Each structure stands twice: as C-alpha cells, then as structure tokens.
Amino acid sequence: MKSTFFKSTLILLIGGFFTKLIGLLVKITYTRIIGTDGLALYALVSPTYSLLITLANFNMQLAISKKISSGSQSKPIIINACYIMFFLNTILILTTFILKDFISITLLHNKDTLYPLLACSLTLPFISIGYIIKGYFYGKQKMTPHMISNVIEQTIKLIILNLVLPYVIKRGIIVSVTVLILINIVTETTSIIVFLFFLPNHIKIKKEDLKYIKSTSQEILKITIPTISGRLIGNIGYFFEPIILTKVLLLTNNSIAYITKEYGIYNAYSISLLLFPSFFISAISNSLLPEISKLHSTNKHTLVKKRIKQALLCSLGVGLICTIFIYYNSSFLLDKLYKTKEGLNYIKILAPFFILFYLESPLTSTLIALNKIKTCTFISTTGIFLKLIILAILGFLGFKIYSLIYAEIINIIYVTFLDFIFLRKALK
C-alpha cells in the first residue's frame, strides 16, 4: 500500500514537472505572440470556460476513480459515464450558442469575447472523454499513462502554437484567441489516443458492451452530484468574478480598458506564476484520494492519519520553498518569462498567503476520501460568497483591482482554516 502511494505520487510528480515546464513554454509562446490585449481577452473568457468544463465533466473523473478503486467493474462504469457526458455536453454546447450574446455583451461588456466563447464550447466533448479515461487510470493507481499523455499533449500544443499563431495573429486578437482555444481539440485528441494505447485488453469496448445501465448511471451520479456542487460553486464564483469586478469598477469611474487590462495582467502573469508549483500539490492530491478511500474503507485509521500527515507536510514544505523563491525573484521571473514587470505588485501581496493555498487541494481530497462531501461543499460555497461580497465592498470603497487581490487572500485563509478544523474533527 505504502509503495503504491509513493510510486503513484512520484510518477505524477515527474510527469507534472515536465508538463508544467512545457506548459510554461506554451504560456510564454502565446503570451509573447498575442500580447497584453490578447491575454486580457483570454482572461475574460477563462472563467466561463472553467465553468463549462466543470459542468461538462460533472466530476466524472472523481466518480470513476472512486468506483474502480473500490473494486467495481470498469466497462459499465466507463460506458455509462460516456452516456452522461454526451448528454451534458450537448446541452452545454446548445446553451452556449443560444446565450452567446448575453454572456459576451451584457455580462462581460466585451463583444470581442463572442467567438472565443463559442470555441470554448466546441472543445468540451474532447476534454470530457479525456477525464473519463483519466478517472479509470487513477482508480487503478496507474499514473504512468497520465504522465506520458500530459507530456505529449503539451509538446504537441507547443509545436502547433509556434507553427500557427505567428500567422494567425495577423488576422487580429479575436481570431488569435479563438484559435488558441480551438487548439485544445487537437491536443486533447492526442492525449486520448495516447491513453488508449495503455488500456488493457479486457477493457476494450465491444458492441455488446454499449448498453445503458440505469443502476450504474445512478451509482455514478450518487458520487458526482454531491461532489460537483463544491467545484461548481467555486467555478460559478470564478465566473462571476470578472462580471462583479467590471460592474463595480465601472460604477466607481474606472474605464473598461483599465479593468480588462489589469484583470488580464492579474491572471496571466501574477496568478500564473504563483500557480506554477501546483503540479506537486496536484500529484499528491490525485494519489491521496484513492489511497485514503481504500484505507478508510478497511478501517485502517492509523495509516490514514499517517498518510494525511505525510501529504500535508510535503505540500507545506514545497509551498513554503516555492512562495519564498517566487517572492524574492518575481521581478526576474516576470522579465525573463514574459518580458514584462507588470503584475509584480500583485505577486508581492499574494505570495505569502499562497503557502496556505497549496494546502487546500490535499485537504479537500482528504475530506472527500473520508466521505465528507457535504463539508467540502459548505466550505467552498461560503468561501466563494465571502470572496465575492468582499470584492464588491472593496471595489465600491475605491480599491480598484486590489479589491480582487484582497478578496482572494481572505478566501484562501478562510477555506484553509475551515478545512483544517473539519479534518481534525473527522479524524477524531
């Protein structure tokens, strides 16, 4: 058991490092090509994109991982997850096309987001299939396929960006951002093909396997519906973040150009740099969930506590080292990576609190593994409402873009603190 956990984590760490490294090159490439204006447009679309992905995937990766790790047959789980995904993706694509004008013009106050939003919806089926297959391998605690697919996916993306974007940028920012999003179709398809090579023979889908089983779908939804609420609330909050920020700052006599530019800088430069070490935390969290679920189901409480302690200490250590490094080298990193110093002040304010942020993911994964799904939902829901309320209040008080930064800090402190409190309670 111990060796499996650490082996899985190590594989995800290695894969995560190379994926993040190539991903950084990807970001540097399109950042330098599309510029600040392109990044600002992409930042406006990103919250809606994240919400669509969350709804389209409906936490299937988690459900499949939990079901398979507990010993359920793989084929019915995968097939019925696909049926659910197909239904959700169809609804979301149609809805996006119907509401495109309302979202882009009325909510985001920027008609340039129209085509990028439509592009986002078209990528959903490909991303969803990828999540289903990942869920299977996570459930089997086989992390090598995940590592290889991620590295290949990011490499393909880097190549395509260098080949396509320099020519596309001549057609304008809107076309460039739209193409940047549509490239995900190619990269996700590549990832799926790589995963398929690693599927064992017994999981190969035959014609007779392609039947809808109501009871299996219900079992999947019993996991996804309670667990999706927390993530959904978080993404709804992220969706409303630029909307509330724009509305409030416009009312306090800030221009739409200032709002769009600073929000783009905040997301593309500051947050992006601070989130770079998250690959380590994701590796721990993804390995932790099936491990804790299995240990908890067999009443190995001592080992559960030990594994949680190991995961949190590792996360804290890495978070501490990374945030200190980023804090003292942020100017150098921004200059070398993005050829800019914009966003430096934001990093200086946020970095000390991101030590706590790196604990959120393993804490949440642990609570879910201990079947404290409602607790996670409560924490994330109240946290996001608190963030949006503070954002609105500080915006009206004249804090400008800093209202978002201070709201984020309060949210990080609040969520991490409650996660710790409820985890201690669950382990007693």
Mean pLDDT computed over 258-263: 91
Q: Any residues with CB less than 8 A from the CB of 172 and at least 6 apart, and which?
A: none
Q: What is the pTM of this model?
A: 0.81
The mean of the pLDDT values for the chain is 85
Instruction: Using the predicted structure, report yes or no on whether residue 121 has a pLDDT greater than 80.
Output: yes
Mean pLDDT of 42-59: 92
pLDDT, position 277: 72
Spatial neighbors of 231 by CB under 8 A, at least 6 apart, are 54, 59, 380
**Contact (CB, 8 A) for 58 and 88:** yes
Where is pLDDT greater, at 73 or 414? 414
> 211 is written with which tokens?
């039947």
Domain ranges for the chain, please list them: 2-427
| 41 closest CA partner among 113, 96, 103, 101 | 113
Whether the per-residue pLDDT at 43 is higher than 60: the answer is yes
Which tops the pLDDT comparison, 296 or 402? Answer: 402
Q: Which of 69-73, 144-148, 404-408, 409-413 has the lowest mean pLDDT?
A: 69-73
pLDDT > 70: what percent of the chain? Answer: 88
What pLDDT score was predicted for residue 291?
66
Read off the pLDDT of residues 216-255 as tens digits, 9 standing for 90 and up.
888 888 888 877 776 788 788 889 999 999 999 999 999 9
CB count, 10 Å around CB of 387? 26
| Per-residue pLDDT at 303 | 72
pLDDT tens sequence across 336-395: 888 889 999 999 999 999 888 888 877 877 787 777 878 888 888 899 999 999 999 999
Closest-CA residue to 154 (of 16, 10, 14): 16
Q: What token pair was written down for 409?
A: 């800090």
Average pLDDT over residues 415-426: 88
Sign of CA dihedral 221, 227, 229, 232: negative
Position 168 scores a pLDDT of 92
How far apart (Å, rounded) are the C-alpha atoms in residues 250 and 252?
5
